[in-house]
Amino acid sequence: MQEVAMPANNPAMALICLLIPLLPFIGFLINGLGNRKLPVGLAGFIGSATVFISFLLSLYLFFTFNGQPYLTDIFNWVSVGNLQIPISFQIDQLSLIMLLLVTGVGFVIHVYSIGYMHHDENFGKFFAFLNLFIFSMLLLVMGSNYVLMFFGWEGVGLCSYLLIGFWNKNQNYNNAAKKAFIMNRIGDLGFLLGIFLIFNTFESVAYAEVFSKATQIPNLLNAPVMVTITLLLFIGAMGKSAQLPLYTWLPDAMAGPTPVSALIHAATMVTAGIYMVLRSNVLYSLAPDTLHVIAIIGLITAVFAATIGLAQNDVKKVLAYSTVSQLGYMFLALGVTAYSSSMFHVLTHAFFKALLFLGAGSVIHAMSGEQDIRMMGGLRKKLPITFITFFVGTLAISGIPPFAGFFSKDELLAHVWEHSKIMWAFGVFASFMTAFYMFRLLYLTFFGTFRGTEEQRHHLHESPSSMTLPLIILAILSTIGGFMGMPAVFGARHYLADFLSPVFNNARIANPTMFEAAELSHSTEYMLMAISVGVAVLAIIVAYITYVKNRTVPAEESARLSPLHNLIYHKYYIDEIYNALIVRPVMWLSTNVYRFIEQSIIDPVINGFGKGVIGGGRSLRLLQTGDIGFYIFAMVLSIVLIIILNFRFW
């Protein structure tokens, strides 16, 4: 029987739960209000320390957790009719893992930011936004109902907007920020409608109630309402987690400072969609049709984004498309109901992708802002720590054992194999491309000879320890992170899957057939592993021959490319298509509505009222003659009129 989340009767525990999100919020207030007055060192310290204490408190919660989920009520927020929305936090296996991830990786990135943003004039503002982001993200993962999740969801969206457009003197960056914001709003509309439909169906928005009702109401399996709810929620996830067709904001979001790319666009915010689907696993298990859709969209996204990654020349853009692709993998896993594998990949991906982004930031820092890999090369000797950690991250994402990415991706692909062989083949193909473009990036950046300017060559230097230390920490996590989920063939325990298992109890009750384990034979499992490792190694060798041995450098901007190469280089012209299909018509519509409806109908009517009042006042003003005799006459006449009217002669 599924244990229902019970209220925590321990006040100390409640205080800790409250403090975890509150501390970053306090950091936000201090840094935000004292933006220009706080010394730089103090602002960085406050920003990082608050998140670090939250991390320690999360660790405490994790180690004192006894397997029994509990709720911590803070106060009642909304109470209308039978709609009750308390501010209350749910601590269970899923939120604990996310808590550790958000505060842990968040803290490391905060420390990195102290070094990376050191010369920026708005240092305090940056840390204020980072802290606000952590606060929103914590609300998102800790909230015990959909509305609170939506609150955090919007909060991270806002912070993403603020941070992408952090260097707001550059209009292109502002446009990227707006794009992220608007694309996310499209998804949020779906999420919001989903919440309304959940309330309409289950008469509650609290997880505990919705999920227990979902298991009790008969005939919900694949009912239209369940499919609609889950599809609407998934639209929200598509926006936040950059899935086709709502993914184009993420590569553009690389305009923000690099720590932001690492924090938001690799480790935390974009995984909110995965978290939301995992949280609603009961509902999704009741809607297998939606799961098919998710699996297909995830797979298409994984392959599609990987192909774009092959031809990008901006170091952060490559990583951005890689993130989109990896998120596609996670949705693919969700779609084949490999829930805990998806979470596993979220965790390992957070480690190695944050590492790769921070490593890229370290390279950009050394190159004085240069992001084009055609201008790099041979950085291996100048940036030894960055090189080694970046190499670890690249191995991890390519799926080379024993690095973290191998275990999670292999487990994920094994589940896809059980589900469909064709999907698995495409997944492996995407995995090949992943290894190829990641090693292309590595070789072009760190191997060969330096291709930048003389000035950049003299400026090259290893980053300060506040930046290299986070790299080392993340590199260690990327190396050993995979061991929390060893595959069964190696005879070790899958700690993560065992830990997360109770979260899916309701789903097991709701749809038992879905969870009937299809046991893979050991030989199959070894074969799958061998194939995925072999494919990755092959990709590495191909990349080595192309970019190190033959010293190929991607073509100049002006060079003519083959049609296919051109298509991929320009990201399939998706942005241009959106521009032509959606942006331009909307702009045209609004310009014309402005011209013909606003300017010719609404404006004259509104201005007419104003002009009428002004004109009336101008005429009536003339009655004020200042002539007392006239006033008295008017008064007497009025009184006589009032008396006559009161007699009602008619």
Partner 1 sequence: MDQIPEVIRTIPLNYYLFFSTTLFVIGVTGVLTRRNAIIIFMCIELMLNAVNLLLTAFSAYRSDANAQIFVFFIMAVAAAEVCVGLAIIVMIYRNIRSTDINILNNLKW
Which residues contact partner 1 (rule: CB under 8 A)? 621-622, 624-629, 632-633, 636
CB of 622 to partner 1, least distance (A): 7
CB-based burial label for 204 (10 Å; 0-12, 13-18, 19+) = buried
| Rounded Cα distance, 47 and 289, in Å | 44
Two tokens, residue 479: 């190396």
- Shorter beta-carbon distance to partner 1: residue 559 or 628: 628
Cβ neighbour number for residue 83 with a 10 Å cutoff: 12
CB of 613 to partner 1, least distance (A): 17
Contact 342, 278 (CB under 8 A): yes
| Rounded Cα distance, 407 and 393, in Å | 14
- Shorter beta-carbon distance to partner 1: residue 550 or 624: 624
Counted residue by residue, the chain has a size of 650
Report the amino acid identity of residue 607: N
CB of 122 to partner 1, least distance (A): 55
- Shorter beta-carbon distance to partner 1: residue 11 or 629: 629
| Rounded Cα distance, 545 and 194, in Å | 50
Q: Which of 390, 371, 357 is nearest to 452 (CA)?
A: 371
CB of 628 to partner 1, least distance (A): 4
Q: Which of 403, 300, 304, 307 is nearest to 353 (CA)?
A: 403
- Shorter beta-carbon distance to partner 1: residue 169 or 621: 621
Q: What residues form DSSP beta bridges with 648?
A: none
| Rounded Cα distance, 292 and 299, in Å | 11
Q: For residue 141, what are the CA distances in angstroms to 22, 109, 156? A: 14, 19, 11
CB of 630 to partner 1, least distance (A): 9
Phi, psi for 332 (deg, rounded to 5) = -60, -45
Phi, psi for 84 (deg, rounded to 5) = -115, 120
Contact 448, 384 (CB under 8 A): no
Contact 396, 478 (CB under 8 A): yes
| Rounded Cα distance, 343 and 650, in Å | 86
- Shorter beta-carbon distance to partner 1: residue 12 or 622: 622
CB of 636 to partner 1, least distance (A): 6
CB of 614 to partner 1, least distance (A): 15
CB of 592 to partner 1, least distance (A): 45
CB of 609 to partner 1, least distance (A): 23
Cβ neighbour number for residue 244 with a 10 Å cutoff: 21
CB of 647 to partner 1, least distance (A): 16
- Shorter beta-carbon distance to partner 1: residue 588 or 630: 630
- Shorter beta-carbon distance to partner 1: residue 538 or 635: 635
| Rounded Cα distance, 299 and 424, in Å | 9
- Shorter beta-carbon distance to partner 1: residue 602 or 641: 641
Q: For residue 113, what are the CA distances in angstroms to 116, 429, 583? A: 5, 36, 35
Contact 145, 88 (CB under 8 A): yes
Three-state secondary structure call for residue 372: strand
- Shorter beta-carbon distance to partner 1: residue 121 or 627: 627
CB of 135 to partner 1, least distance (A): 59
CB-based burial label for 336 (10 Å; 0-12, 13-18, 19+) = buried
Residues near 316 by Cβ (< 8 Å), separated by ≥ 6?
Answer: 254, 258, 261, 357, 360, 364, 371
Residues near 146 by Cβ (< 8 Å), separated by ≥ 6?
Answer: 195, 198, 205, 207, 210
- Shorter beta-carbon distance to partner 1: residue 218 or 617: 617
- Shorter beta-carbon distance to partner 1: residue 559 or 614: 614
CB of 650 to partner 1, least distance (A): 24
- Shorter beta-carbon distance to partner 1: residue 559 or 622: 622
CB of 646 to partner 1, least distance (A): 17
- Shorter beta-carbon distance to partner 1: residue 572 or 633: 633
Report the amino acid identity of residue 567: L
| Residue appearing with tokens 């935390």 | 268
